[in-house]
Structure 1
Amino acid sequence: MSTTTSPTPESERPADQGAAARPARLIRTEAITEIPLHLLFRDGPDPGPVPLKPAVVGRRQGTGEQSSPLPDPPGWEHPRLRRPAPVRPRSVPQVDADLVERPARVLPGALGVLAGVCGVAGCLATSWWAGVLPPLALEALGLPAYAGTGLGPAQWAAYAGTGALGLFGLGGLARGRTGRAWVLGLFGRYRGTVRRTGLLWVNPLLLRRRVDVRLRHWRSEPMPAADASGVALRVVVLVVWRVRDTARATLGVEDHETYLRECVEAALLRVPVEMPGGARGSADAAGDALTRLVATDTAPVGLEVFWVQPARVEYAPELAAAMYRRRIAALDAQQRASALSSVVDSVEDTVTRLTMRGLVELDDCERKALVKDLTVAFCVGRGEQGP
């Protein structure tokens, strides 16, 4: 009798047999993001953010529960990306925004002269009215003799009015000159700037400060500087500038000329300056950089800088002797190399011509001896002639 064996279902097979048939999946429906190895050891100066896809978290089959991502192995360190250091812009001095130059209110000088004449005439008339004018003054002025009423309250009031009119009229006269300006202030408050020329009348109660607004140049004393290699130098700078905003230049800073000197000295410490005879265009580049820096620093205080150029560059006193010897040695070495090259070329040309024309037949020893003798002769002759 034949026995038919039915296949054993997969659920009834032993656990060892199923494991041997196919490997068991430890984590199901998981996706792990791979990080390229070269991203972990980037030494770039400023790496940007690396876009990484987040790990996909799957769901366990049949349960609907969300599985947790794969934990990090022992000793694993997450890569740290370098963030760029924040760049702090160079601070520029700021002045009160309301402190801007504006024209002041002035009157023509003729009105001040008229007011002064009226005040003086009023004082004389009051004196004649009071009878205090001497006879000589009456004769000079052509006034009739008058006994007068004496000095009473009315006379003193007339004296006060006419005297104040005369003082205000004559005391407010001012002369405006080309290239000069007046900065006016009242009790510490800016009241305007006068740039007009000629005879003017300005309120005598206002405080006047004269400012030179012409194009000016300033030659500095030797200031410390350095070249691209860090060698200490002394530089004399020529600066061409003028006052653009009189209000800020006078009231925004204590002394605008001293402020300009300090800005030039600070700019020299930030810009390398080369000695004369260096690279072509280095002096122009240094001058342009100095002009930009000084103009930026002095613009908020009402100064306009047109040109900053090194006029004289020399080594610092403590380095002058050593750098002079070094420069002389370099020039001497350059001259010696040039002379040696000239001698070698002359010897080579002489020996070549002698052998090519068949004047002499030389072996190696004779050629070496001839080259030696010619070299000595040319060197001695050049030394006697001088450089």
Structure 2
Amino acid sequence: MSVHDPSAHDASAHDASAPGPSTAVRPVADSIPDPLADSVDAPEMPAPRVTEFPAHSVGGGLALLLGLGGLAAGAGMIAAATAVTATGPKAALIVGGILVALSAFLAMCGLNTVAPGEARVVQLFGRYRGTIREDGLRWVNPFTSREKISTRVRNHETAVLKVNDAYGNPIELAAVVVWNVQDTAQASFEVDDFLEFVATQTEAAVRHIAIEYPYDSHDEDGLSLRGNAEEITEKLAIELHARVEAAGVRIIESRFTHLAYAPEIASAMLQRQQAGAVVAARREIVDGAVGMVEAALGRIAEQGIVELDEERKAAMVSNLMVVLCGDRAPQPVLNTGTLYQ
């Protein structure tokens, strides 16, 4: 159940169907300024024991032709053995044809088709022997095992998480992370399941960021989840990068898709937001009214329309402030006498 902020303005700003409250994070985590990176309490992951390097492979077209030629030669030798009457040469042709055909078939087992956006992690008897990233038909040692890993860009969206912010208020939030595999060797050998690893670490990072900052900051200089979406999402990207770097994963973008108070405090927070909005609006009205009254008195004095003593100025200021600051239309009162009667 997705419950949004009780304020209509905030709901439209944080709803998943509307543009998220944050902008796209820099695609490369190394480009984020160092002071911002130093301010994030990111976990320290162990150094990788293996990193990706290109596997030795050749074009598969020639290997395919040689393999088919070997199969044809083996079949031809076996067929030729039927025309030989001598036992020795006949047996030699049959055995030789079988060996040639088996060798050609075994060599053809080293053929691999690599599609764009995919890679093959090559292992020989449990030892990492490199990664094939060239697309097309490639040939490697047929005794190796090849694991397919997608290097395409992926999305991971967390479920709506309910956590307490820095002030202890229960809030709901969700995030989407755009990522891809950058180092196939680390993704295969450094973690058990890199898909599950990314999902778990993303949820942990979102929860950690949520409890570090309040939804709305009472201090004007403090960061808040709603008021400083750009800074918060940059910190989220840095922490995500630090968490999933061990799995050879690159974070391209992170964005909050849902941000709202929990239903049990939504009505109370609505009243607080409404009170703040009323106070802010009244402050703007009073500031504008004071400026208008000041301009009116200045024009009257400058053009010499009427001479006003201090008492009349005070009465005019009072009347203008009531008219300009009142939330209802003023009711005029006509004075048929003088100001002092």
Please give the TM-score of this superposition, normalised by the length of structure 2.
0.63
Residue 253 of structure 1, CA deviation: 0.7
Q: Does 1:247 align with 2:195?
A: no
Q: Does 1:330 align with 2:282?
A: no
Q: Does 1:375 align with 2:322?
A: yes
Once the two structures are superposed, residues 269-295 of structure 1 have per-residue CA deviations (whole angstroms, 9 ceiling, x without a partner) of 333456599979822321222222222
Alpha carbons of 1:374 and 1:201: their partners in 2 closer, same or farther (altered >3 Å)?
A: closer
Residue 246 of structure 1, CA deviation: 1.0
CA–CA separation in structure 2 for the residues paired with 1:104 and 1:159: 32
Once the two structures are superposed, residues 248-304 of structure 1 have per-residue CA deviations (whole angstroms, 9 ceiling, x without a partner) of 111211222322232222222333456599979822321222222222222222223
Once the two structures are superposed, residues 149-194 of structure 1 have per-residue CA deviations (whole angstroms, 9 ceiling, x without a partner) of 7997545523431331232233322123333210022343322211
SS in 1 for 2:180: strand
CA–CA separation in structure 1 for the residues paired with 2:316 and 2:61: 103
1:101 to 47, 52, 65: 52
Matched residue type, 1:118: G
Alpha carbons of 1:90 and 1:336: their partners in 2 closer, same or farther (altered >3 Å)?
A: closer
Could you tell me which residue of structure 1 aligns to residue 109 of structure 2? 171
Alpha carbons of 1:159 and 1:323: their partners in 2 closer, same or farther (altered >3 Å)?
A: farther
Q: Does 1:301 align with 2:252?
A: no
Alpha carbons of 1:162 and 1:316: their partners in 2 closer, same or farther (altered >3 Å)?
A: farther
CA–CA separation in structure 1 for the residues paired with 2:248 and 2:123: 18
| Preserved contact between residue 42 and residue 242 of structure 2 (Cα < 8 Å) | no
| Preserved contact between residue 121 and residue 184 of structure 2 (Cα < 8 Å) | yes
CA–CA separation in structure 1 for the residues paired with 2:190 and 2:330: 68
CA–CA separation in structure 1 for the residues paired with 2:170 and 2:96: 74
Gaps of 5+ in 2: 1-40, 332-341
Residue 200 of structure 1, CA deviation: 1.0
Could you tell me which residue of structure 2 aligns to residue 122 of structure 1? 73
| Preserved contact between residue 232 and residue 315 of structure 1 (Cα < 8 Å) | yes
Gaps of 5+ in 1: 1-88, 132-145
Alpha carbons of 1:226 and 1:119: their partners in 2 closer, same or farther (altered >3 Å)?
A: same
CA–CA separation in structure 2 for the residues paired with 1:240 and 1:211: 17
Could you tell me which residue of structure 1 aligns to residue 266 of structure 2? 320
Q: How does 1:172-191 map to 2 (within 5 A)?
A: 172-191=110-129
Could you tell me which residue of structure 2 aligns to residue 30 of structure 1? none
Matched residue type, 1:126: M
CA–CA separation in structure 2 for the residues paired with 1:288 and 1:374: 46
SS in 2 for 1:381: coil
CA–CA separation in structure 2 for the residues paired with 1:374 and 1:237: 48
SS in 2 for 1:335: helix
| Preserved contact between residue 128 and residue 148 of structure 1 (Cα < 8 Å) | no
Once the two structures are superposed, residues 201-245 of structure 1 have per-residue CA deviations (whole angstroms, 9 ceiling, x without a partner) of 133432221122345554444344554434333333343433222
1:268 to 194, 200, 206: 206
Alpha carbons of 1:109 and 1:345: their partners in 2 closer, same or farther (altered >3 Å)?
A: closer
CA–CA separation in structure 1 for the residues paired with 2:116 and 2:277: 54
Matched residue type, 1:181: A
CA–CA separation in structure 2 for the residues paired with 1:166 and 1:382: 100
CA–CA separation in structure 2 for the residues paired with 1:110 and 1:190: 25
Alpha carbons of 1:222 and 1:374: their partners in 2 closer, same or farther (altered >3 Å)?
A: closer
CA–CA separation in structure 2 for the residues paired with 1:282 and 1:376: 38
SS in 1 for 2:52: coil
Alpha carbons of 1:147 and 1:221: their partners in 2 closer, same or farther (altered >3 Å)?
A: same
| Preserved contact between residue 95 and residue 301 of structure 1 (Cα < 8 Å) | no
1:113 to 32, 41, 64: 64
If asked which structure has higher relative contact order (CA below 8 Å, sep 6+), I would say 2
Aligned sequence identity (%): 25
| Preserved contact between residue 224 and residue 268 of structure 1 (Cα < 8 Å) | no
Residue 148 of structure 1, CA deviation: 6.8
CA–CA separation in structure 1 for the residues paired with 2:43 and 2:73: 61
Please give the TM-score of this superposition, normalised by the length of structure 1.
0.57
More helix as a share of residues: 2
CA–CA separation in structure 2 for the residues paired with 1:265 and 1:231: 19
CA–CA separation in structure 1 for the residues paired with 2:311 and 2:57: 104
CA–CA separation in structure 2 for the residues paired with 1:199 and 1:369: 90
CA–CA separation in structure 2 for the residues paired with 1:224 and 1:211: 33
SS in 2 for 1:196: coil
How many residue pairs end up in the alignment? 279
How large is the Cα RMSD of the aligned pairs?
4.3
| Preserved contact between residue 45 and residue 242 of structure 2 (Cα < 8 Å) | no
Alpha carbons of 1:231 and 1:166: their partners in 2 closer, same or farther (altered >3 Å)?
A: same
Residue 120 of structure 1, CA deviation: 2.2
Alpha carbons of 1:245 and 1:353: their partners in 2 closer, same or farther (altered >3 Å)?
A: closer
Q: How does 1:1-387 map to 2 (within 5 A)?
A: 92-94=44-46, 97=49, 99-131=50-82, 146=83, 153-154=91-92, 156-224=94-162, 227-271=165-209, 272=212, 282-339=228-285, 358=306, 371=318, 375=322, 378-381=326-329
SS in 2 for 1:102: coil
Matched residue type, 2:251: V
SS in 2 for 1:259: helix
